[in-house]
Amino acid sequence: MVHASNPTFDPTSFEVWGALINGARLLILDKEVALSNDEFAKALGEGGADVMFLTTTLFHLKAKEAPSSFKGLRELFVGGEAMDPASARSVLAAAPPKRLINFYGPTENTGFSTFHDVGDVPEGTTTIPIGKNIANSKSYILDRNLRPVPVGVKGEIYVAGDGVALGYFNNPELTKASFVPDPFSPGSMMYRTGDLGRFLAEGSIEFLGRADLQVKVRGFRVEVGEVESVLLSHPSVRLAAVVPRGRDGRERQLFAYVLPHEGVAVGTAELRRYMKERLPDYMVPRSFTILE
């Protein structure tokens, strides 16, 4: 079992205790090894790694720069953000692990709530589902009145089951706002994630972004993560962030910050052209700042 997470990050409990209570050896990677493509692949191979968790951001980075790094793994778990279909396709086409699993779940539900086995990712796929419930966990998609929404309709994701925490330590107000009675299981609590999703026809959940990251720009509702995803699909872009600024409504504008791949030059005019070809005008950031 690979331990590559920061010790203050909740997947550490999955890595460390997952290894210890199952009699597995813990392969510890330091930050420098995890971020070096050559050293990363070498460490996994020489260490005999079987199981690994990666944040989605780091998975996307490895998929672009070293997609064959995971060839010896039995299971690769990825979670924390929406998985980019192109990144998944790149890893699956190179030298894939035996299982690539897209995980979803907040810390407040002990880390994991749902999972999806990522198999074939056809061209044109726009999202990777976050899947169905793990054992002893439940997921609901509800409207503002805590009523289940129909299949295919967007709502807020709530999680319930044995993994739900008791609340936030010494913070009763936030606990009361986030941990609410489960109307479908009297006597139990569920956690309000603040994430948006919808049920697909076959029962899996599709993640649709954060409720609190949806902003109005020139009268249109915009998911900031969707703009970032398009920007990250540019071949010269390594990392990107899009920040809304200004009062909600017509005064609000989007500003993009971009870190190119090492040794690659990309101009703001090229990025603007790229975004205009793929997004409506109101979703194209007002400015692009290239960072070192």
pLDDT of residue 125: 86
Residues in the chain: 292
**Structure token pair of residue 227:** 């703009």
**Structure token pair of residue 271:** 């990025």
* pLDDT tens, N- to C-terminus, the chain (292 residues): 999 988 888 889 899 999 999 999 999 999 899 989 999 999 999 999 999 999 988 899 899 999 999 999 999 999 988 899 999 999 999 989 999 999 999 999 988 999 999 998 988 888 899 999 999 999 999 999 999 999 999 999 999 999 999 999 999 999 999 999 999 999 999 999 999 999 999 999 999 887 776 677 776 778 888 899 899 999 999 999 999 887 655 577 899 999 999 889 899 999 999 999 999 998 999 999 999 8
- Specify whether the CB–CB gap between 151 and 200 falls below 8 A: yes
pLDDT of residue 217: 79
pLDDT of residue 80: 86
**Cα separation of 204 and 248, whole Å?**
33
Long-range (24+ apart) CB contacts under 8 A made by 286-289 are: 286/253, 286/254, 286/255, 287/255, 287/256, 288/256, 288/257, 288/258, 289/255, 289/256, 289/257, 289/258
Helix axes 37-46, 56-65, angle to 10 degrees: 100
User: Nearest to residue 246, comparing CAs of 272, 217, 226, 222?
Assistant: 217
User: Nearest to residue 257, comparing CAs of 275, 235, 274, 237?
Assistant: 237
**Cα separation of 286 and 142, whole Å?**
34
Counting Cβ atoms within 10 Å, is residue 184 exposed (0-12), middle (13-18) or buried (19+)?
middle
**Cα separation of 206 and 222, whole Å?**
18
